[in-house]
Structure 1
């Protein structure tokens, strides 16, 4: 009698684990590919219509030149020891330019939504519809870094000085943290508001009050008590004061005091935590809205 060899049974327990890794890596690869493709589309639009970037560079340069000239004859030391108004204003222009650009992040998505392109993306077989949000965030962060580099260079040419490499890296981190939170807020408004008219109205109403309710144009000591409290509740003030401290001090650390709030001293590390907390709060707040819209 001939014996029949029976092959050993495969261990079923090992199969799902072995298959899960390629599937997960495939989904991640698809998500990255989709995000890069959507980001490339935004840069192609910018290349065809570069007026947005040009205006975003010219406007802060005008702020630096005009406001610096306006307060050129201010008494020396009015804004701090041996600190000119041009040096004082540079940090405010950097932060407010990044803030204004990030606040407009929802407009391209809103126009895609109104023209029907967003609906095509939502019915497409995307690995994750959050690639739409990620692409907008990457695009705005890249534009903010370009604008920041131009403003830092212009400020140095106008006599405001230039931080060292570590200081420039810290400025990039601060701008990144601010842009992430404001971009997420703008994208949340894009999916919450009915159209671009309402979104533009919110942008116009929000822009100037947040500028004047911060330390971009004047120090806290110049403000009345109630405005000091409002300014210290404004995340822009923590970004501005941190960058301003980096311009004035080369030997800085996380424990360096960057701002004297009405309730006490604020260190550089505490200012970074405020920006991180702002980002986390906004991202958590918009997630349910995005899930409902993407569903």
Structure 2
């Protein structure tokens, strides 16, 4: 038996290349490939303006309807926050807007798979397949950030009747939203490469990920309102840290890295730890998706 195993191993070793080829990836070429794929994605979006309009209207409806539903809630209802519910809700709607756009980032890639366009891209003289990831993430980021800025302007107008933007708050909001958009976009791309079709993709994102992720966060209610088991799920959810960082920065004149954003009986997280958690999850997601593309399509 041992001789047979050695003979088979020797036989298969003949097909293993003795020398591995190293591709000299040109950064300028990668940039050009990413730019062309982004241009293609933008053309697809412009030819389907209804999807852009719906994506813009949906978060505004959440903001208007939920804000109107709880506008008469007691001002001391939300722990230490002596604010209207609309002000409490706004950071959650901002992050959920970025999340909602990012979770559908892999949908164009899924349609390319089904209609055969992805095969054409892969057999084209493309030097770096990571440009597929970069282009999808950048395209999604641009659309999501546009929606977030529109929500910020609408909220400021409703509150002050005057457009006066705090640059520090805007930079913090865009920075934290970028981490979430990049993270969720890579997960969406991973689903687009693994799932068999767009029906499974939409069912997974809409039914099993979208709304449960929203309600299992502090977007709509503070952590103290929840039972212990739901608090644990919320602390696992990366959206919670992003929402609380933006909420703390918006409700206070200034925050530091030691400002607490999660203060439960069994867990305490500050701003620095929250950002490190988001970055760690982000790096892990990107590496996983890059390996999937490498071993699935090489």
| Contact preservation (8 Å) 1:105, 1:140 | yes
- What is aligned with 2:125? 125
- What is aligned with 2:103? 103
- TM-score, scaled relative to structure 1: 0.88
Q: Distance in 1 between matches of 2:264 and 2:286?
A: 26
**Structure 1 SS opposite 2:139:** helix
Q: Distance in 2 between matches of 1:259 and 1:208?
A: 22
Structure 1 residues 40 and 261, CA, compared in 2 at 3 Å: closer, same or farther? farther
Deviations 1:224-263 (A, max 9, x none): 1111111011000001111111110121122222221443
Deviations 1:153-193 (A, max 9, x none): 11112218976212211111100000111000000111111
**Structure 1 SS opposite 2:128:** coil
- What is aligned with 1:5? none
| Contact preservation (8 Å) 1:178, 1:275 | yes
| Contact preservation (8 Å) 1:232, 1:261 | no
- What is aligned with 1:233? 236
The number of aligned residues is 272
Q: Which runs of 5+ in 2 are unaligned?
A: 1-22
| Contact preservation (8 Å) 1:215, 1:237 | yes
Establish whether residue 222 from structure 1 lines up as the match of residue 194 from structure 2. no
How far apart are 1:268 and its partner, in Å?
1.2
| Contact preservation (8 Å) 1:101, 1:140 | yes
**Structure 1, 204-213 or 43-52: larger mean CA deviation:** 43-52
**Structure 2 SS opposite 1:159:** helix
| Contact preservation (8 Å) 1:102, 1:183 | yes
| Contact preservation (8 Å) 2:257, 2:270 | yes
- What is aligned with 1:19? none
| Contact preservation (8 Å) 1:163, 1:246 | no
How far apart are 1:203 and its partner, in Å?
0.3
- What is aligned with 2:83? 83
**Structure 1, 169-178 or 71-80: larger mean CA deviation:** 71-80
Q: Distance in 2 between matches of 1:262 and 1:281?
A: 29
- What is aligned with 1:48? 47
How far apart are 1:94 and its partner, in Å?
0.4
Q: After the TM superposition, list the runs of 4 or more consecutive aligned residues in structure 1 that deviate by more than 6 angstroms.
A: 160-163
- TM-score, scaled relative to structure 2: 0.87
**Structure 2 SS opposite 1:73:** coil
| Contact preservation (8 Å) 2:102, 2:181 | yes
| Contact preservation (8 Å) 1:228, 1:262 | no
Q: Distance in 2 between matches of 1:262 and 1:156?
A: 34
Q: Distance in 2 between matches of 1:263 and 1:40?
A: 48
**Structure 1 SS opposite 2:26:** helix
Larger radius of gyration: 1
How far apart are 1:143 and its partner, in Å?
0.7
How far apart are 1:47 and its partner, in Å?
1.4
Establish whether residue 270 from structure 1 lines up as the match of residue 273 from structure 2. yes
| Contact preservation (8 Å) 2:130, 2:290 | no
- What is aligned with 1:170? 172
**Structure 1 SS opposite 2:262:** strand
Deviations 1:93-149 (A, max 9, x none): 000111011000010000011101100010011111111111101000111110110
**Structure 1 SS opposite 2:159:** coil
- What is aligned with 1:288? 291
Structure 1 residues 225 and 54, CA, compared in 2 at 3 Å: closer, same or farther? same
